[in-house]
Structure formats: structure tokens, C-alpha cells
Structure 1
């Protein structure tokens, strides 16, 4: 009976050790999946996301470099498709505060900074249309058929046709 108990304990220890080794192998596989290079990179906890050429978002440029991945753009994937989609050097990083304004183009922006980044002046505070004289508040698209106005949904029923 004594040998049977010892045998059961040894068998149990082998089983538990096997489970532990399997879990370690699985954790290592998950780590290798994220770090293809196999290099131990100490990139810290800084979160400034970047998008790699492989369309994968990395927490920071160090992590992308650690994975031998070239950067496509700063920020999360997907990257902006055209230069007008991303801020230029002349544009201001706008606050997240929402103080809606109606811009000269008849569109509502979250704040004056966002309108100014589009090279637009502010017609009034609040959502479009601005209160007051309908003629003054009509966007240019109401009175002209320019290519940049096509596809915009602007209610021009108040505007007089020139």
C-alpha cells in the first residue's frame, strides 16, 4: 500500500509538471507570434501607436522595429489614404473639447480649431445653419455648381438663386 501511494504521488507530480511545461510552451508561442524577430526588446510601456507596412498596429515604434517592421504611418492602422486626411505641419493639433461651430462652407465642426485647419472661417457658434439672414448663411454651393460642391447635402431651399 505504501508503494502504491508513493507511485501515485510520483505519477501526479509528473502530470502536474507536464501541464506546467505545456503552459510555458503556449505562452512562449504567443510571445513569438507577436515578436517574429525573436529578439528581446525592452520597449517599455510607452503608448504611441504606429502602423507597420504589414497593416498591423504596434504600441510604439520600438515594438515595430523589434519586429523588423517598417513604419507606414504614425497612429493606428489603417493609415490615411490621402494627404488631406492627415494633419500637415501647418495644421494645429486641436483640443478634444466640443464647442460646435458653423464654418463658411456650411458644415458643422466640433470646434473652431478644426474649421481653421481646413482653412475655413467660422460663420457662427453652434451647429449649421446659422440663425439670421438666410441669404448670408447659404454656402457657396447653393448658388454655384462647382465640382467641389457635388455630393454635398445642403438644403438650399432658403437660398435665392443668382
Structure 2
């Protein structure tokens, strides 16, 4: 079942890369007591994700955070090293990059995408706002190859 507004996000552990090396973050670490914008992408460096979806959040990060958002995070079913390389290549230090390599969290929120071209389950393109781990806004992209309903402009409008 797909998560919906009013639902609590499930417990999960994400992988991330820090200055000290690989690390884990739990759902509580990311969401507890915070307002978080989380957007999901099918894959790092894929055309729409890299050239359209992520850049809007990088460009508007200060404006989004200025509206009371503590954290902007992106999640994909890529390993933490790919996510870290994507962060660096995109100069996206204002964004938290979460690796969900087996898509466990993505599946738990019902937003998995069976994509044989990628060789495994990936995330549907989505964006949500969560306050203290409770979803207050959710949008899932309807049209493949676009990031309109889930982009930074849509999040700014929802805030």
C-alpha cells in the first residue's frame, strides 16, 4: 500500500557518505522533530534526475529552508558511493543524499518501481514533506521523464 498524507514514515536505515566514511542514518535521525522534504528518484545520474529534478532543489534550497524546512533529502536505490559522487558532481551540499540500495524504504512506502532496465527495484519519482516523520504532503509523478509535480517549484507551492 502506498503511503499517504497523515501516515507515519516506516522505520528504516539509510546509507550515506560522510567526511569520516560510510555511515548509517535511521528514519529517526533524518525525520524526528524536523520538517523534511524528501524526494525520490529512479537513479542517480539518470537524465531526468540529474538534469531536471535535482537541480531545482539545489537552486532553491535556501528558499525551501527559509520556509521552515530543516532538511532536504534525496533517496535512490543506488549505493552510497554513487550517491556521494552524484552529490559532488552536482555541487549539492545543501541536500542530504540517502542510499537505499535494496529499496527497502522505497518498497515500505509503496513507491517502488519495477524497472528491468535498471536491473532492480527503483523509486518512482516522488516528493513528500514530513513533519516529525508524519507525511503532510505527497506527490508522485504521473508522466515518465518529467519532474513537474515533484520538483522544487511544487514543493515551494506546498509549503
Alignment TM class, shorter chain as reference: under 0.3
Choose between structure 1 and 2: higher strand proportion.
2
Query: Normalised by the size of structure 2, how large is the TM-score?
Result: 0.18
Structure scoring higher RCO (CA < 8 A, sep ≥ 6) equals: 2
Choose between structure 1 and 2: higher helix proportion.
1
The structure with the largest alpha-carbon Rg is 1
